[in-house]
Amino acid sequence: MNSLEANIRENKTKGELNAIRKNGEVPAIVYGGKDENQKVSISKKKLKNLIEKENFLSNIITLNVSGKNLNVLPKEVKYHILSDEPTHVDFLRILPGVKIKIEVPVNFINHEKSPGLKRGGVLNIVRRKIELKCPSEKIPDNITIDLDGIDIGESFKISSVKLDSEVTPTIQGRDFVIATLAAPTVMKEPEKPAEAETAEGEPGAEGAEAAADGEKTPADGEKKDADDKKTADKKPSEEKK
């Protein structure tokens, strides 16, 4: 279980709140249960290290407040609109026996053992997280789905997931889909028009190639004029002899 050192804060103005942030701390509040809400501050550096880890909002954290350990669940993190730095955190007190709602990530394993994926199938993930209602001491780290032996056309529904008897999905009344293994989508190239399929050596093929290269094929009249011009150019040299 992750832990954080927390300091009690007594700020009353916005300026005092900004001073806390400038000192490398992030204001936070602890709520829930019969106790009053408690204002605390935590190290921004240590908080960011925990946020970078997977499933921060679904893991219980131990807050050490003035030498007293308190189990809490992160419920919301607010960020600065420009710097994207955390500016405030809400923590929910975890009380034994009390059920809470929490989003748990879905984890897929054994991709390499799926015959459907080997044949080019596509894993369509409908839900990457599932909201559960469960006692705080029975929060699962994740929901694991095994792809071993799964072929194209098969799907995973919530009924196929084994959960503790005290852990239930918040969506009731329907067996919702978590993921499906769909057939591959193949893009077929369009066929060429018949006019563009002139075989090599057939009439018109040579002219088409020349036109494609940007060359112009002379007409019969133009060819005759060119031959006459060549003959006229040769006459002076013959007469000189």
Domain regions of the chain by residue span:
2-94, 100-182
In terms of pLDDT, which residue wins out, 59 or 44?
44
Residue 46 clears pLDDT 90, i.e. is over it? yes
Written as one letter, the residue type at 213 is: D
pLDDT attached to residue 127 = 95
- Under the banding of pLDDT at 50, 70 and 90, the label for residue 58 is confident
What is residue 241's predicted lDDT score, i.e. its pLDDT? 43
**Alpha helix positions (H), the chain:** 14-22, 44-52, 115-118, 205-212, 220-240
- CATH level 2 (architecture), domain 100-182: Beta Complex (2.170)
Quick: pLDDT tens for 147-198. Answer: 999 999 999 999 999 999 999 999 999 999 999 999 987 644 556 665 555 5
Token pair for residue 149? 């032996």
Q: Is the pLDDT of residue 9 over 80?
A: yes
Residue 219: strand, helix, or coil: coil
Q: Which two tokens stand for residue 132?
A: 């559960």
Q: Give how far Cα 17 sits from Cα of 88, 141, 190, Å.
A: 10, 34, 64
233: confidence class by pLDDT, cuts 50, 70, 90: low
From the list 77, 4, 8, 62, the residue with the least C-alpha distance to 36 is 8
Query: Is the pLDDT score of 142 beyond 70?
Result: yes
| pLDDT of residue 59 exceeding 80 | yes
Query: Which pLDDT does position 26 carry in this prediction?
Result: 96
Position 67 scores a pLDDT of 84
Amino acid identity for residue 206 in this structure: E
Non-local (6+) Cβ contacts of 92 within 8 A are 30, 31, 32, 72, 73, 74, 75, 100
* pLDDT of 209: 46
At 96-130, the pLDDT tens digits run 878 888 899 999 999 999 999 999 999 999 999 99
- Greater pLDDT, 199 or 4: 4
**Tally of CB atoms within 10 A around 145:** 18
- 16-36 residue pLDDT tens: 999 999 999 999 999 988 889
pLDDT of residue 99: 87
Q: What is the pLDDT of residue 32?
A: 87
CA distances from 166 to 72, 131, 163 (A): 20, 14, 8
| pLDDT at site 194 | 59
Comparing 195 with 138, the larger pLDDT belongs to 138
According to the per-residue pLDDT averaged within each range, which of 8-12, 65-69, 175-179 is highest?
Answer: 175-179
Among residues 106, 108, 174, the alpha carbon closest in space to that of 140 is found at: 106
CA distance 132 to 117: 29
Q: Which CATH superfamily is domain 2-94 in?
A: Ribosomal Protein L25; Chain P (2.40.240.10)
pTM: 0.63
Instruction: Please state whether beta strands 143-146 and 99-109 pair in parallel, antiparallel, or not at all (unpaired).
Output: parallel
Q: What is the pLDDT of residue 44?
A: 95
